[in-house]
Amino acid sequence: MKKRDLINLEQLSQEEILRILGVAMAVKHDVSHSAHLLKGKSIGLLFQKPSNRTRVSFEVGISQFSGNCVYLGPDEINLGVRETVADVSKTLSRYLHGIVARTHRHEDIIELTENASIPVINGLSDLYHPCQGLTDLFSIKEKLQRLEGVTIAYIGDGNNVCHSLMLAAAKTGVHMKIAAPAGYGPNPDILQRAIELGQATGSEISVTQSPQEAAQGANVIYADVWVSMGQEDERDKRLADFQGFQINKALTDLADPNYIFMHCLPAHRGEEVTAEVIDGEHSIVFDQAENRLHTQKAIMNFIFNTW
Ligand code: CP
Ligand code: NVA
């Protein structure tokens, strides 16, 4: 059986995505679901950047599946510096049964995957965050009871989280309006692919520079930080360039009255979102964070039940 990896959401069919969401719901309601899936298996978490949700939810999920977790932080492996990405990948394949990798460069995830004889899951790169994108779909479906026809207003940086959400939306008939300042829109190639994928499902993906236009009538208002990990040197410029893109009450007042507010977290109150919105009654951010655990267990089920 060929190994399965999760590098970005383009590689999953709509049917596979919906199957993963269904298993996520089953594991959420039954913690003993697939309790022996990873018995006798060790999964490495190879992280070049900090993490709360991704690391902890994978560690707990692996433990609930009776597996063993090996955390490899930036100081242990020093990917591509202490030794090549290919050598790291080939070596880890001799010890482990799977790798969850968080890297700076998306190319490193691809190189790890191509050189690994074991499954690799992308735990965030500069281009994508597929575990987040699947969790976001799961959370929307859980809260709004549907996906098709839902409209997400993503307001902020056209970054890794935005890219995975775009692809997730395009695959499942969800509309997405992205509002970003000039120069901070999504990667044009990924945007084009999402638009094309959306033609098969009826999903419309569009980009504007007006947060108000995006928020108008939206079912979901979505935020991420303005300064992603690795962009700390650009902080002052970014904070200036994103003025006017804060999600506050004036903006959410334009959304559907039953809108939900989502944020992948970590959040910076007073920057991309006000405390009033993120801590308010429409916010589902901690349910969304919890759902990382259930969705990633479903992803591991998809990958390891055939491996
Ligand atoms: N949303 C998310 O991936 O959070 P962490 O960076 O804390 O893992
Ligand atoms: N865009 C953010 C997401 C963090 C989960 C970053 O890459 O830092």
Residue having the nearest C-alpha atom to atom 7 of ligand 2: 228
Q: Give pTM, 2 decimals.
A: 0.98
Statement: residue 51 has pLDDT above 80? yes
For the chain, the structural domain boundaries read 9-129+289-304, 132-286
Which ligand has its closest atom nearest to the C-alpha of 123?
Answer: 1
Instruction: Report the percent of the chain where pLDDT is more than 70.
Output: 100
pLDDT, tens digit, 9 for 90 and up, residues 212-254: 999 999 999 999 999 999 999 999 999 999 999 999 999 999 9
227 CB near ligand 2 (under 6 Å)? no
Confidence at 1, pLDDT banded by 50, 70, 90: confident
pLDDT of residue 2: 86
* 129 included as an active-site residue: yes
230 CB near ligand 1 (under 6 Å)? no
264 CB near ligand 1 (under 6 Å)? yes
51 CB near ligand 1 (under 6 Å)? yes
pLDDT, tens digit, 9 for 90 and up, residues 170-221: 999 999 999 999 999 999 999 999 999 999 999 999 999 999 999 999 999 9
- Average confidence (pLDDT) over 261-274: 98
Cα(248) to ligand 2 centroid in Å equals 21
State the CB neighbour count (10 A cutoff) for residue 21: 23
Ligand 2 atom, smallest distance to 157 CA? 1
CATH 3.30.420.130 applies to domain 9-129+289-304: no
pLDDT of residue 109: 98
pLDDT of residue 306: 79
Ligand 2 atom, smallest distance to 53 CA? 5
CATH architecture for residues 132-286: 3-Layer(aba) Sandwich (3.40)
Which ligand has its closest atom nearest to the C-alpha of 156?
Answer: 2
Q: What angle do CA 80, 96, 68 make, to 5 degrees?
A: 120
Domains 9-129+289-304 and 132-286 share a fold: yes
- Average confidence (pLDDT) over 122-140: 98
Cβ partners under 8 Å of residue 277, min gap 6: 221, 247, 248, 249, 252, 261, 283
